[in-house]
Amino acid sequence: MITTANTAPTVENGATVFIPLNKLKKHPKNARKTPHSEASIEAKAASIAAKGILQNLVVEPELDARGEPTGFYLVSIGEGRRQAQMLRVKRKEIKKTEPIRCVIDMANDAAEISLDENVTRENLHPADEFERFRELSEDRGWGAEEIAARFGVTAHVVKQRMRLGAVSPKLLQVYRDGELTLDQLMAFAITDDHARQEHVYENLSYNRDPSNIRRDLTKMNVASTDRCAIFVGAQAYTEAGGNIIRDLFTEDRGGFYEDPALLGRLAIEKLERIAAEVREAEGWKWTAAYLDFPHAHGMRRVYPHSVELSEASAADYDAVQDELERLTAEWEDADIDLPLEVDARFAELEAEIERIDAMRHAYDPDEIARGGVFVVVAHNGEARIERGFIRAEDEAPEPEAAEDGETVIEGVRVNSDGEIIGGDEQDGEGGDVSASEPEPEEEAGDDGKPLSDSLIRDLTAHRTLGLRLALGEQPDMALIAVIHTLAAQTFYRGGSEAHCLEIRPTSNYLAAHADGIEDTAAAKMLADRHAGWAADMPRDVVDLWGFTAGLDHASLMALLAHCASLTVNAVKLPWESNKRRAHETADKLATAVTLDMTAHWTPTVRSYFGRVTKAHILAAVREALGNEAAERIADKKKVEMAEAAEQLLAGIGWLPPVLRTERPAWLAEQQSDAFATAAAETAPEAQIDDHFAVAAE
């Protein structure tokens, strides 16, 4: 029989009664001295709100000092449920007099039954819990938010449990049997492909680290940080039917694209659209779209040349420049932020100047008519457009040598002054003038006999000796000759035949040694510098000598430095043990040019930490930040440790020893111990020292 404690004349042991919530108190003999967590009370409150109290509270009447009932009841079992209801009162979901169903127990010791409730029970196995959450979603159609509200947990927790419940039943049983840890099960949950999960499990090595499991499960997928994934975008990929795998248990940085073929197709289609726009707008003969730049294309490349601005464009440039200078003078001393309209105008003027400046260099129309463009995906996920490639079949025919200083171009004879001989000139009756009066035959005798090959060799050998002697006495002219030789082979097709110094520059193909290196900022700077020189070069190599000889000293040295820089090779290969002295020289060159690799390279998971051992990672952190920082990440797994190291060392300028540059002796002599202090950071010497990454001593 169920009664209400307020109306019952006597309360019998074992009776089920409804007691107002505000008449219930925590029993002083309750075994739980450590209070329930806030999360636990929240979960109980949500469960009671959705389903009611499923288990009665066990109480006994409170007695005063004389043994008389006080009208209150002490909760022996169910204190957590009582607190959950009190939380609901605080939230005004129920009244404080809400009747609570309780069982009266005056026979058992309150301390014992409170302990018994918490000891003689077994929690649901996590695998069973995971499966039940999944079933709630599948059988009742509830979403994560609704389930979360009914169990007092976050929607993210519900999603995690449902994802774990969706792991292959075979692997869940392995987990129940204790042969998989929860961390390993979470790693398998990165995909819902049961066959894939089971295949990876069956082929696991002795190393069952969760990071290895995730790697094996996703090695056929594409990370969202991949350049193609960035280029296509998650929205376009999913709209095309692609699925993105999300890891609910680790930071996945956007997940993994499950269908690489679809992603590649979408990337190519987008590249082709961009290529078509470039071709239509600029008039190139062809365009080609590739995911990766086709370095083995075997084509000659041409660059834009300097052109004069039209009078209208030059006038526009001067007008824009004048307005920009006026605005700059007007606002340069202002102590306030620029008004939005002024800031916008600055941006417009700078963009217009940049647009007109771009018109100062243009490709030859003939080169555009014969050349093409590659459109590829750059390392940062943007489209990279490379112009000016000439296929072999589209090359202009080389002039054929003819007698008397004449050349033959496509069957037409041209004299040394560029005038056409024959073919176009006709007499009054349409006859060929050259054919009307045949040249007289050469008179018999030896007057027209050419010199013998042996004599020519003899004479030119003497001339070569004279040139060597003379050039060795004229350093300035020797510099011009060397630079001409290098530039001819660096910038021109067939340039190796357009000089007389036997100097052969070679350039090691760095992309064969470091994947993606040609897409880095440093490579872009080098390519831009090369393109700048190429744009200034005369179009014909025969005019290169005059161009080189006409350069001022500073420009001449800059051209020499650029050509020489392309021949540098400091790549260390394991089978080239005989190049030790060459590498030592590379170290000396780095010191001489004060090379600062922190400007060109940053230690990341991809570039360094993901490719070295945990010991190397800890050594790097310890060297850069000290023992305490290294100890904080020492217990992490390899992947987590690498990611943590990337974050810790970001922006501090740490470099692995192979990339460090030794201080020049002159700089080391100028520096003092005070150099390392914060005050010295503003000194000129400190600014110079910032260019060097030196191991802490």
Checking if the pLDDT of 657 tops 90, the result is no
Could you give the C-alpha distances from 460 to 131, 436, 480, in angstroms and in order?
A: 92, 41, 22
Where do the DSSP E strands lie in 285-419? 286-290, 300-301, 305-306, 361-362, 371-377, 383-390, 400-401, 407-409, 412-414
Where do the DSSP E strands lie in 227-338? 244-245, 256-257, 286-290, 300-301, 305-306
Place of tokens 């990766």: 292
Alpha-carbon span 485 to 498, nearest angstrom: 8
Task: Kindly report each contact of residues 152-158 with a partner whose C-beta sits within 8 Å and lies 24 or more positions away, as own/partner.
Answer: 152/39, 152/42, 152/43, 152/44, 152/45, 152/46, 152/47, 153/39, 153/43, 153/46, 156/248, 158/133
Q: State residue 691's pLDDT score.
A: 34
Q: Which region, left, alpha or beta, applies to residue 503 given φ > 0 means left and ψ of -120 to 50 means alpha? A: beta
Task: Yes or no: say if 70 and 19 are a contact pair by the CB < 8 Å rule.
Answer: no
Concatenate the DSSP letters of all residues of 171-191 into one string.
HHHHHHTTSS-HHHHHHHTT-
Q: State residue 578's pLDDT score.
A: 67
Q: State residue 284's pLDDT score.
A: 95
The phi, psi pair for 63, rounded to 5°, reads -115, 145
The overall average pLDDT reported for the chain is 81
Residues 481-520: tens digit of each pLDDT: 888 888 888 887 766 667 788 888 888 777 777 877 777 8
Residues 330-340: tens digit of each pLDDT: 887 776 777 88
Q: Distance between alpha carbon 642 and the CA centroid of its chain, in Å?
A: 16
Alpha-carbon span 131 to 165, nearest angstrom: 4
Looking from the CA of 547 toward its CB, the CA atoms found within 13 Å total 18
Helix-strand-coil split of the chain, %, nearest 5: 50, 10, 40
Print burial letters for 12-26: b (CB count within 10 Å at least 16), e (below 16).
Answer: eeebebbbbbebbee
Checking if the pLDDT of 56 tops 50, the result is yes
Checking if the pLDDT of 571 tops 90, the result is no
Mean pLDDT, residues 224-235 taken together:
92
Checking if the pLDDT of 155 tops 50, the result is yes
Which of 44, 20, 17 lies closest to 102, judged by CA?
Answer: 17
Which of 594, 548, 622, 601 lies closest to 691, judged by CA?
Answer: 594
Checking if the pLDDT of 166 tops 50, the result is yes
Q: State residue 697's pLDDT score.
A: 34
Looking from the CA of 118 toward its CB, the CA atoms found within 13 Å total 16
Place of tokens 């006999």: 449
Weakest-pLDDT range from 113-117, 241-245, 399-403, 642-646: 399-403
Checking if the pLDDT of 193 tops 50, the result is yes
Q: State residue 505's pLDDT score.
A: 84
Alpha-carbon span 602 to 651, nearest angstrom: 8
Residues 415-435: tens digit of each pLDDT: 544 454 444 444 444 444 444
Q: State residue 410's pLDDT score.
A: 45
Q: State residue 4's pLDDT score.
A: 60
Q: State residue 9's pLDDT score.
A: 46
Q: State residue 281's pLDDT score.
A: 92
Burial class (CB in 10 A: 0-12, 13-18, 19+), 365: exposed
Q: State residue 408's pLDDT score.
A: 47
Alpha-carbon span 10 to 88, nearest angstrom: 30
Weakest-pLDDT range from 91-95, 243-247, 317-321, 688-692: 688-692
Checking if the pLDDT of 303 tops 90, the result is no
Mean pLDDT, residues 619-627 taken together:
92
Alpha-carbon span 168 to 159, nearest angstrom: 16
Weakest-pLDDT range from 169-178, 180-189, 347-356, 404-413: 404-413
**3-state secondary structure labels for all residues of 502-550:** CCCCCCCCHHHCCCCHHHCHHHHHHHHHHHHHHHHCCCCHHHHHHHHHC
Measured CA angle at 145 (ends 141, 151), to 5 deg: 95
Checking if the pLDDT of 601 tops 70, the result is yes
Mean pLDDT, residues 290-305 taken together:
86
Residues 101-145: tens digit of each pLDDT: 999 998 898 888 888 887 877 777 888 888 888 888 888 888 888
Q: State residue 91's pLDDT score.
A: 92
Q: How many residues in total does the chain contain?
A: 697
Concatenate the DSSP letters of all residues of 628-642 into one string.
HHHHHHTTS-HHHHH
Q: State residue 137's pLDDT score.
A: 83
Alpha-carbon span 28 to 186, nearest angstrom: 42
All domains of the chain in start order, with CATH: 2-119 (3.90.1530.10), 397-433 (no CATH), 454-569 (no CATH), 578-689 (no CATH)
Alpha-carbon span 196 to 217, nearest angstrom: 7
Mean pLDDT, residues 540-563 taken together:
89
Structure tokens that stand for 417 in this block: 């002054």
- pLDDT band at residue 444 using 50, 70 and 90 as cut-offs: low
Alpha-carbon span 77 to 635, nearest angstrom: 41
Q: Distance between alpha carbon 359 and the CA centroid of its chain, in Å?
A: 32
Q: Is the pTM of this model over 0.85?
A: no
Q: State residue 342's pLDDT score.
A: 83
Q: State residue 669's pLDDT score.
A: 58
Alpha-carbon span 661 to 650, nearest angstrom: 19
Checking if the pLDDT of 267 tops 70, the result is yes
